[in-house]
């Protein structure tokens, strides 16, 4: 594959001779390093050091080539340099294409095929790169020998965004590097959605509070009955805002340290019992019985106790609120084995309520996603509970599994790794 990739270089008249090919190859390498530095994929000091080493190797190869010109060899130093270029292009994390001055493809890596599947060595790049912005950037770079950049998007098979960096190679051709901007666009979309949803969720109770304050200061100033009723509603709306802000802050804190895995041993049995005790009042108000099947032996996991309490508070509270029709919530422990063979504990929270339609399940852990917006707000939900559960479990190297069928209730299972216990000495 390497010989096929580089072979068009040897047919270029402008590159006849070993030194000409070496100059071309060194120009490509310089352009590659320059683009990597530009997109912040390589530190400047590493780039300078790499260029210095390659320059010394190129000079050495040129001298050896001149000395041994009359001696036949299986692989010349120039061929070795060409193979090095092929390997360099192939190892680049971003899609990369090398073009000759006439616009024909001289080399490319596998990542480039994901953007232009029709790429072929020796063929005009315009046949494969059917992106007007990139074609125009190539023409401009050839015309004035200056670097160009162009942003474009692809809608098939999925939405993706790229920046194409076009960099001329002195007396040789062009290097195209495509930097994938899709993750940045996804993050920006998430940020915009998050701000919009958070603003909407805060605006609703805030508008309610403002309206009741105006009423109490005006028409209901002397109405004691209205004042008591309105103050109760205002307290409910203020509590809703406080819960939302608390969940937002908790989610932000968890995301900041999600990559740091806690290692303090925590027994999940007492954690779940504490949660059940704290929610007994809510269970009695909803006329729901909480049935606990405790673990046969201590279920000790590495974790943060307060965060794990928050996980099971959210899961049990959701079961009590949205599965109250079933009059029963069951919590059970079970041992399991992870894919890597390590031990896990599964804590399942099952309700016997109306269940959840299959199309909603994959999105339940998204911020502010609700199956029934009206009911969720009536229950005081913020739309962040399951997102918080997911991120806490990720921080604890665990995961959340959701199973449900319409009319058959729902089961939310937290799977967490057990503390590794060394084998007893023989």
Give the domains, in start order, of the chain with CATH numbers.
2-180 (3.30.450.20), 182-256 (1.10.287.130), 262-426 (3.30.565.10)
Note the pLDDT of residue 16.
44
When pLDDT is averaged across residues 114-124 and rounded to a whole number, the result is: 86
User: Helix 18-38 crosses helix 77-91 at what angle (to 10 degrees)?
Assistant: 20
Check residue 144 and give its pLDDT.
86
Dihedral sign computed on CA atoms, order 24, 55, 178, 87: positive
**What is the distance between the alpha carbons of residues 357 and 352, in angstroms, rounded to a whole number?**
14
Q: What is the mean pLDDT of residues 7-17?
A: 45
Using left for φ > 0, alpha for ψ between -120 and 50, and beta otherwise, residue 147 falls in beta
Q: What confidence score (pLDDT) does residue 350 get?
A: 95
At 258 the pLDDT is 85
pTM score, two decimals?
0.58
Question: Which residues, 6 or more positions from 396, have their beta carbon under 8 angstroms from its beta carbon?
Answer: 261, 262, 301, 302, 303, 304, 307, 308, 416, 417
| 32-41, 49-58, 392-401: the lowest-pLDDT one | 49-58
**Poorest-confidence range of 229-238, 264-273, 300-309, 396-405?**
229-238
342-362 pLDDT per residue, tens: 899 999 999 998 899 899 999
């Amino acid at each position: 594959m390497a010989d096929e990739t580089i072979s068009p270089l040897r047919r270029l008249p402008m590159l006849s001779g070993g030194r000409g090919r070496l100059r071309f190859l060194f120009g490509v390498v310089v352009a590659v390093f320059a683009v990597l530095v530009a997109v912040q994929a390589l530190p400047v000091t590493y780039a300078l050091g790499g260029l210095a080493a390659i320059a010394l190797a190129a000079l050495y190869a040129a001298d050896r080539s001149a000395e041994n010109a009359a001696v036949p060899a299986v692989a010349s130093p120039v061929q070795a340099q060409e193979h090095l270029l092929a390997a360099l292009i192939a190892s680049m994390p971003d899609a990369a294409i090398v073009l000759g001055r006439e616009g024909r493809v001289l080399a490319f890596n596998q990542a480039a095929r994901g953007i232009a599947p029709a790429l072929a060595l020796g063929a005009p790049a315009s046949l494969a790169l059917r992106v007007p912005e990139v074609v125009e950037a190539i023409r401009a770079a050839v015309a004035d020998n200056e670097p160009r950049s162009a942003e474009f998007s692809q809608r098939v098979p999925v939405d993706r965004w790229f920046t194409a960096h076009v960099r001329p190679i002195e007396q040789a051709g062009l290097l195209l590097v495509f930097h994938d901007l899709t993750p940045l666009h996804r993050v920006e979309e998430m940020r915009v959605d998050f701000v919009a949803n958070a603003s909407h969720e805060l605006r609703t109770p805030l508008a309610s509070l403002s309206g009741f304050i105006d009423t109490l200061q005006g028409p209901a100033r002397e109405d004691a009955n209205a004042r008591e009723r309105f103050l109760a509603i205002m307290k409910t709306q203020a509590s809703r805002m406080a819960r939302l802000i608390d969940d937002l802050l908790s989610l932000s804190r968890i995301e900041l340290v999600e990559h740091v895995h806690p290692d303090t041993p925590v027994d999940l049995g007492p954690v779940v019992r504490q949660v059940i005790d704290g929610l007994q009042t809510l269970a009695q108000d909803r006329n729901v019985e909480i049935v606990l099947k405790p673990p046969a032996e201590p279920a000790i996991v590495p974790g943060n106790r307060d965060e794990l309490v928050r996980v099971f508070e959210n899961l049990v509270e959701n079961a009590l609120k949205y599965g109250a029709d079933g009059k029963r919530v069951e919590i059970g422990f079970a041992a399991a084995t992870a894919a890597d063979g390590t031990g896990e504990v599964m804590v399942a929270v099952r309700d016997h309520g109306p269940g959840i339609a299959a199309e909603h399940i994959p999105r339940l852990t998204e911020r502010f996603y609700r199956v029934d917006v009206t009911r969720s707000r009536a229950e005081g939900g913020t739309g962040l509970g399951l997102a918080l559960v997911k991120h806490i479990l990720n921080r604890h190297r665990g995961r959340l599994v959701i199973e449900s069928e319409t009319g058959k209730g729902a089961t939310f299972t937290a799977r967490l790794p057990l503390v590794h216990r060394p084998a007893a000495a023989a």
